[in-house]
Amino acid sequence: MTSLNRLTHPIAAMLAIGGLIAALMTAGPSGAVSGAVDSAETEPPVIRPAYDLELDAFHWVNRLVVVFADAPADPRYLEQMDLIAQRLDDLELRDVVVLTDTDPAARSDARQSLRPRGFMMVLIDKDGSILLRKPLPWSVREISRSIDKTPLRQREMRETSASDQATPGG
């Protein structure tokens, strides 16, 4: 009976769902979920909650797409996350980490820094500059085009192309 009460308690249920989502986000290409030891040694998942993270931790390492809403049931938030999920590989290719924040009361670093009102999608480059602020969902294709136009991404593509040509067989 005690374990049943723990599972039916709203906070316990949310934590269980959050754990499931986190496990799914750390699933490898084969769909196998990494263990706790493995997840510390691998790269962070592409989609992460923003609540306990500081934006500066991603400086010069990742680009950020930060998706805000006042509630996880916001239709614009759901649409944006669906659009992102459909083309996650395109974002990974561009070193993008997606941060989500659907709780205004949590006062995350991202929310305090970017000050959204309702739904907002923000694209931040590796140097910390804000490339876009959008009040409506954007497709990954549009996000990718915006990234690919930046001087930093142009340089990355040139360097990748040069290293591919220098590699035997490439």
pLDDT at 165: 79
- Where are the alpha helices (H) located in 10-150, listed in sequence order? 10-25, 36-41, 75-86, 88-93, 109-114, 140-148
pLDDT digits (tens, 9 = 90+) for 79-111: 999 999 999 999 999 999 999 999 999 999 999
Range of the domain at 127: 43-166
Distances from the Cα of 169 to the Cα of 159, 162, 163, 165, 166, angstroms: 17, 13, 11, 8, 9
99 and 29 housed in the same domain? no
33 pLDDT higher than 90: no
Angstrom distance (rounded) from CA 123 to CA 163: 27
Angstrom distance (rounded) from CA 117 to CA 102: 11
56 and 103 housed in the same domain? yes
120 and 95 housed in the same domain? yes
Percentage of the chain surpassing pLDDT 90?
66
CATH of the domain at 106: 3.40.30.10
Residue of 100, 84, 80, 102 lying closest to 92 (CA atoms): 84
77 and 160 housed in the same domain? yes
Contact between 105 and 69 under an 8 Å Cβ cutoff? The reply is no
76 pLDDT higher than 50: yes
pLDDT-derived band at 169 (thresholds 50, 70, 90) equals low
7 and 53 housed in the same domain? no
pLDDT at 23: 42
pLDDT at 132: 96
26 and 55 housed in the same domain? no
36 and 53 housed in the same domain? no
111 and 152 housed in the same domain? yes
41 pLDDT higher than 80: no
Token pair for 16: 């269980």
| Mean pLDDT (whole number) for 145-159 | 95
Domains in the chain, number: 2
pTM over 0.75: no
116 and 156 housed in the same domain? yes
